[in-house]
Amino acid sequence: MKSASTYRAVQAVSKGKLELTEKPLVDPPAGHVRIRVEACGVCHSDSATVEGILPIAWPRVPGHEAVGRIEVIGNGVEGWKVGQRVGVGFLGGSCGYCEYCRDGDLVNCINQGYTGVQQDGGYAEVMIAKASGLIAVPDDLSSVDAAPLLCAGLTTFSALRNSPVRAGDLVAIFGVGGLGHLGVQYARRMGFEVVAIDRGGGDRAELSKKLGAHHYIDSSSTDVAKALQALGGAQMVLATASGGKAVAAALGGLRRGGVVISLGATDEPIELSAFDLLFRQLGVDGALTGTSKAGDATLRFSAMSEVAAMIETMPLEKAAEAYAKMMSGKARFRMVLTMT
């Protein structure tokens, strides 16, 4: 039986192993808040914690798509209220004093922890979060719907919003999965001509059109570069599928001056020719989620323009099952843990 002084959490304890545990409630330190978590998305990057891909001091609670209500506010926190619904994403909150912060570049803060990596995340009924990392959740977005937008949504929304593409430009989303199915929706609603690219025809093509794609390219039967060039060449390709080869393949489909933004976390090298960079002025870039303010905008834009992740929910105690389903690639498309 749960007492008021403890809460349930699911933590990674060794490589590949998640277990349900009970943790003591503690007050938030200065600059932090304590959140009663209502929902938390399961993201592929949680494998950094569960499989120990990043250096991890186990036990560690994963989860960086957490939504809940503030229940205690630590000393020195301004601008947030008890009872307010907030989100916590991958970036755990900037420091405000490093040279990047002082220059306004909060994403690259060198004193910023990753949620669920250096500090416990949202696979729990309660979590502590740094106030500078909090994201405001609009009333008309449910906690379950908001959760996957805090990483998968913010990453794709922010990459599109910060790119040099303009309304009417041809934008390709490479991979219609956890990230890509949101990328297609955002790109359409931002006013781009949208190409979705994935393996296979039928279902995936139909889904892509339903999400808002104007065109669909089946990469298993079509030369992606040629097909994009036949449409005039993409100004930008959002490569959401992991793998350096996908990024390299996309380069051939760009128009001059176009850019590939790689969102799939992988250490696979990207092979490209300096000729492409020189004579076609192509660019290759990455994007790491976004600022907490960009998180606010992601949620508001999603609510306003009816962008939603396709989700499957599971209760917190089934976190290991939800994680396994996500890792197997069988989730359609985002798993979300619920706490009540």
Q: Which of residues 158-217 bind Zn ion (CB under 5 A)?
A: none
Residue 151 makes contact with Zn ion by CB under 5 A: yes
Judged by beta carbon, residue 11 or residue 49, the one nearer Zn ion is: 49
| Count of positions (residues) in the chain | 340
Residue 98 makes contact with Zn ion by CB under 5 A: yes
Cβ atoms of residues 23 and 37 within 8 Å = no
Residue 60 DSSP label: B
Nearest CA among 301, 187, 168, 166 for reference residue 238: 187
Instruction: Pick the piece of the chain touching Zn ion (CB under 5 A) from 150-158, 269-277, 290-298, 301-309.
Output: 150-158
Residue 288 makes contact with Zn ion by CB under 5 A: no
How would you classify the pairing of strands 134-136 and 85-88?
antiparallel
Q: Which whole-number Å values give the CA distances from 306 to 32, 99, 118, 146, 253, in the listed order?
A: 32, 38, 34, 12, 30
Judged by beta carbon, residue 141 or residue 326, the one nearer Zn ion is: 326
Tell me the closest approach of the beta carbon of residue 105 to Zn ion, in angstroms: 9
Judged by beta carbon, residue 151 or residue 165, the one nearer Zn ion is: 151
Q: Where are the alpha helices (DSSP H) in the chain?
A: 47-50, 99-102, 143-146, 152-161, 180-189, 202-211, 224-230, 244-251, 274-279, 292-305, 319-327
CA–CA separation, 23 and 7 (whole Å): 5
Tell me the closest approach of the beta carbon of residue 322 to Zn ion, in angstroms: 14
Instruction: Pick the piece of the chain touching Zn ion (CB under 5 A) from 19-27, 37-45, 140-148, 314-322.
Output: 37-45
Residue type, 323: Y
Residue 45 makes contact with Zn ion by CB under 5 A: yes
Residue 79 DSSP label: S
Nearest CA among 117, 121, 126, 141 for reference residue 41: 121
User: From its phi and psi, is residue 124 left (phi > 0), alpha (psi between -120 and 50) or beta?
Assistant: beta
Q: Which of residues 55-94 bind Zn ion (CB under 5 A)?
A: 94
Tell me the closest approach of the beta carbon of residue 118 to Zn ion, in angstroms: 14
Tell me the closest approach of the beta carbon of residue 96 to Zn ion, in angstroms: 6
The residue within the footprint of Zn ion, chosen from 10, 39, 40, 101 (CB under 5 A), is 101
Residue 327 makes contact with Zn ion by CB under 5 A: no
Judged by beta carbon, residue 109 or residue 187, the one nearer Zn ion is: 109
The residue within the footprint of Zn ion, chosen from 25, 95, 265, 327 (CB under 5 A), is 95
Instruction: Pick the piece of the chain touching Zn ion (CB under 5 A) from 26-34, 108-116, 232-240, 316-324.
Output: 108-116
Residue 53 makes contact with Zn ion by CB under 5 A: no
Residue 109 makes contact with Zn ion by CB under 5 A: yes
Tokens of 45: 């990057």
Judged by beta carbon, residue 68 or residue 153, the one nearer Zn ion is: 153
Residue 43 makes contact with Zn ion by CB under 5 A: yes
- Count residues near Zn ion (CB under 5 A): 9
Tokens of 62: 């994963």
Instruction: Pick the piece of the chain touching Zn ion (CB under 5 A) from 41-49, 184-192, 198-206, 294-302.
Output: 41-49
User: From its phi and psi, is residue 118 left (phi > 0), alpha (psi between -120 and 50) or beta?
Assistant: alpha
Site residues for Zn ion per CB under 5 A = 43, 45, 94-95, 98, 101, 109, 111, 151
